[in-house]
Amino acid sequence: MNTNEKSGFAKFIDSFGLPRLIITAFLLLLLVACPFVGADLPTQISNIISRFSWNGVLVLAMVPMVHSGCGLNFGLPLGIISGLLGATLSIEFGFTGPISFVMAILISTPFALVLGSGYGWLLNRIKGGEMMIATYVGFSSVSLMCMMWLVLPYKSPNMVWGLAGKGLRTTISLEGYYNQVLAKFLAIKIGNFTFPTGTILFFAALALAMWAFLHTKTGTAMTAVGSNPVFARAAGINVNRIRLLSVIMSTWLAAIGILVYQQGFGFVQLYMAPFYMALPAVSAILIGGASVNKATITNVIIGTILFQGIVTMTPTVMNNMIHMDMSEVIRIIVSNGMILYALTRKTEAAT
Amino acid sequence: MNTNAKKREKAGAFLRQSSVPIMFVIICAVCIPISGLSPSYLINEIVTRMGRNVFLILSLLIPIMAGMGLNFGMTLGAMAGEIALILVSDWQIVGIPGMVLAMIFSVPFSILLGWFCGKILNMARGREMITSYIISYFINGVYQLVVLYLMGSVIPIRHGSIKLPRGYGIRNTVSLLNMRQKLDNLIPLTIAGVKIPVMTFIVIGVLCLVIIWFRRTKLGQDMRAVGQDMQVARDAGINVERTRIISIIISTVLAGIGMVIYLQNMGNIATYSSHSQIGMFCIAALLVGGASVDKASIGNVFLGVILFHTMFIVAPKAGAAITGDSMIGEYFRVFVSYAVITVALVMYETQKRKRKSLEGQKLAQAQKGEQNKGQKEENEA
């Protein structure tokens, strides 16, 4: 009986993954410790939820490419750049309020489609080496755009440097544009606890759409391509076309994701800011239980909550407990450790 | 006719291989006159930067030989070198003895980190580069934990000048004034206004000889065999895993020593950022010199350092002269570094695929031939 139980527990650990278990336990510990160190639990939880709502879509953007066997999308910055173009152009064209958010999405879409197809075409030519090249495609596009932000003829006084009258600022305030536009929609407030209903609904709609898509014919084909490309080809699926589609979807979701992030955060961050945005999203989905070639919507939700939970909780709790702000170091070690763990698992991506 | 075609093919292959260096020569040729920098200043800068960087870049060669691609994990060695330097400067050992001690002291750290890196890379075969890249981030976290929290609280640090005011952790910059350019100036030599760091170049020369010698040793041959085909190497009785780990350890140790040389030239340690970009710049320089992911020579290193750093020096000035904004040039050189690595990676992967499909075709043909032969024999029978 006892041995049976043990093997059941071992099995549970196996399926859940030891690192994930440790991270969950750590987060629970932080939550329990919260009242003892004098931090306000409702504030903390509402922080976690709102940060989840900012980042959810960016993490969701990982799903299509993982499904089609392109691996983790380290090239997320490319999609983020489309989003930034949408955001800045929407402001430049003089849209304000909630309309500016809708316009930002609309304007960023064609950029995401074009950049995504170029990116997908490239990834189709280098099957097997996607992740490394994706990383560097992201990096080079961010540094190229650094020059572009300076050179492009933006005029709006809210965005350009005051003195020179040209060149975009590093951070642009969204006050008067789409700051909190989703978060304030139907927001529920109980004391210190705020629930950003609009953002959560927006994320839920996209997640549901993604879930539904993965159950359509094309979606199943995508999963087939990811799990066994040879079989997929034999079944008459155009592997390259499906992969291209997945990359475009991922890029577009990244563009939407950064806009959602901005509306929560309240600022557009340009220049080097998109540089390291891929890593948190990648590690979030991995913490949620995804692997290099398998990911579900549940992984996205659990992963984002766990990751953002640790990111928001460690500074406050640790600070109060040992008067040492180790949160940054913990974040680096946990997120990169998680990526390493996933990369070393023996889930051979078939080439 | 046939030889002509062959010649043309050879020339084409040469052009393709050296397209990146040629492009850089053109960029430099355009930017140098625009930047308006004097030749003597330029040459001085380039010679200094050669002394500073070549040793670090040479550390990348051995993993490439072993077929493990560009070792983004060389950052690990750089961190080991920094830790050793911090400790040595706390012990107030100055000048050349301090440097030598730091080099020696960095070795155990490097070996440990290199072993860890090699172990993990063996678990992630086929995606070594992305894994070594993430390892460098991961160990950076551990490094920060050690330097920012453990040094001064657990690891004794005596001198207040390198400690943060709060009592533990290391300051953002650690001055190496007592070691500054001690190696470079050990044998002073100035030719036509150009200061030459003779001793550093001698050390680099020795390392080049060691690498050439190493290639001929049994271990070096084993590494090449592993790099060519792991399966064949294993069948030949080579311990593939061990060989790969050793190649990473050697690379990390060299990077650690290289970092000490790099920092003695700079004269201070930027504790939390010195190492973060070093891997990227070294790899970009190597690739600019015409190396690829699976093939790199000492010549590539030197050509790469000269071209890459010429671009690095002139780009901001040239950018400022053209657009009136110095930031453009700064961003341009960062962009070029990343773009070079991207292009090299893409070229490597496409060639790998091409080779694979070619091999597949050959195999299919051979099988077909055998089948035909078999059928013929059957018919004859």
Tens digits of residue pLDDT in B217-229: 999 999 999 988 8
The reply to whether residue B349 touches residue A129, judged by beta carbons under 8 angstroms, is yes
Q: What is the CATH number of the domain that holds B205?
A: 1.10.3470
The reply to whether residue B342 touches residue A125, judged by beta carbons under 8 angstroms, is no
Range of the structural domain that residue A184 is part of: 39-344
The reply to whether residue A132 touches residue B133, judged by beta carbons under 8 angstroms, is yes
Tell me how close the Cα of B93 comes to any Cα of chain A, in angstroms: 30
Q: Report the chain B residue with the minimal C-alpha distance to residue A125.
A: B350
Instruction: Classify residue B20: in a domain, yes or no.
Output: no
Cα separation, B31 vs B355, in Å, equals 38
Instruction: Classify residue A84: in a domain, yes or no.
Output: yes
The reply to whether residue B353 touches residue A127, judged by beta carbons under 8 angstroms, is yes
Q: Which of A73, A122, A136 to mutate to test the interface with B (most CBs of B within 10 A)?
A: A136
The reply to whether residue B338 touches residue A140, judged by beta carbons under 8 angstroms, is yes
Q: Report the chain A residue with the minimal C-alpha distance to residue B342.
A: A136
Instruction: Classify residue A349: in a domain, yes or no.
Output: no
Whether the per-residue pLDDT at A13 is higher than 70: the answer is no
Region B41-65 average pLDDT: 91
* A139, A329, A339 ranked by CB distance to B134: nearest: A339
Instruction: Classify residue B375: in a domain, yes or no.
Output: yes
Most confident of A22-26, A224-228, B230-234, B252-256: B252-256
Question: Chain B within 8 Å of A187 (Cβ-Cβ)?
Answer: no
The reply to whether residue B323 touches residue A151, judged by beta carbons under 8 angstroms, is yes
Question: Chain B within 8 Å of A136 (Cβ-Cβ)?
Answer: yes
- pLDDT band for position B212 (50/70/90)? very high
Instruction: Classify residue A23: in a domain, yes or no.
Output: no
**Domain total in chain B:** 1
Residues of chain A contacting B352 with CB distance shorter than 8 Å: 128-129
pLDDT score recorded for residue B60: 92
Residues of chain B contacting A137 with CB distance shorter than 8 Å: 342
Q: Report the chain B residue with the minimal C-alpha distance to residue A164.
A: B325
Question: Chain B within 8 Å of A152 (Cβ-Cβ)?
Answer: no
**Domain total in chain A:** 1
Instruction: Classify residue A29: in a domain, yes or no.
Output: no
Range of the structural domain that residue B337 is part of: 34-380
* A131, A333, A337 ranked by CB distance to B130: nearest: A131
Whether the per-residue pLDDT at B251 is higher than 90: the answer is yes
The reply to whether residue B134 touches residue A340, judged by beta carbons under 8 angstroms, is yes
Residues of chain A contacting B323 with CB distance shorter than 8 Å: 151
Instruction: Classify residue B21: in a domain, yes or no.
Output: no
Q: Report the chain B residue with the minimal C-alpha distance to residue A149.
A: B328
pLDDT score recorded for residue A156: 82
pLDDT score recorded for residue B33: 86
- Asked if B43 contacts B272 with a C-beta cutoff of 8 angstroms, the reply is no
pLDDT score recorded for residue B18: 78
Share of chain A above pLDDT 70, in %: 93
- pLDDT band for position A349 (50/70/90)? very low
- pLDDT band for position A348 (50/70/90)? very low
The reply to whether residue A329 touches residue B145, judged by beta carbons under 8 angstroms, is yes
Tell me how close the Cα of B123 comes to any Cα of chain A, in angstroms: 5
Whether the per-residue pLDDT at B245 is higher than 80: the answer is yes
Q: Report the chain A residue with the minimal C-alpha distance to residue B350.
A: A126
Residues of chain A contacting B134 with CB distance shorter than 8 Å: 336, 339-340, 343
Tell me how close the Cα of B186 comes to any Cα of chain A, in angstroms: 40
Instruction: Classify residue A16: in a domain, yes or no.
Output: no
Tens digits of per-residue pLDDT, B166-208? Answer: 888 888 888 888 888 888 888 888 887 788 888 999 999 999 9
Question: CA-CA distances (angstroms) from residue A178 to A58, A203, A262, B134?
Answer: 18, 17, 8, 35
Q: What is the CATH number of the domain that holds A144?
A: 1.10.3470
Whether the per-residue pLDDT at B143 is higher than 50: the answer is yes
Question: Chain B within 8 Å of A230 (Cβ-Cβ)?
Answer: no
Instruction: Classify residue B5: in a domain, yes or no.
Output: no
pLDDT score recorded for residue A287: 85
Instruction: Classify residue A61: in a domain, yes or no.
Output: yes
Instruction: Classify residue A232: in a domain, yes or no.
Output: yes
Tell me how close the Cα of A13 comes to any Cα of chain B, in angstroms: 21
Residue whose C-alpha is closest to residue B193's, from B43, B52, B46: B43
- pLDDT band for position A347 (50/70/90)? low
Determine phi and psi for B195, rounding to 5 degrees: -80, 125
Tens digits of per-residue pLDDT, B97-138? Answer: 888 999 999 999 999 999 999 999 988 887 888 889 899 999
Q: Is the ipTM of this structure higher than 0.90?
A: no
Region B23-33 average pLDDT: 85
- pLDDT band for position A1 (50/70/90)? very low
* B129, B145, B350 ranked by CB distance to A126: nearest: B350
Instruction: Classify residue A339: in a domain, yes or no.
Output: yes
Tell me how close the Cα of A293 comes to any Cα of chain B, in angstroms: 14
Residues of chain A contacting B334 with CB distance shorter than 8 Å: 143, 146
Whether the per-residue pLDDT at A7 is higher than 80: the answer is no
Region A339-343 average pLDDT: 84
pLDDT score recorded for residue A350: 37
The reply to whether residue B130 touches residue A132, judged by beta carbons under 8 angstroms, is yes
This prediction has a pTM of 0.85
Please give the interface size between A and B, counted as residue pairs whose CB atoms are below 8 Å apart. 109
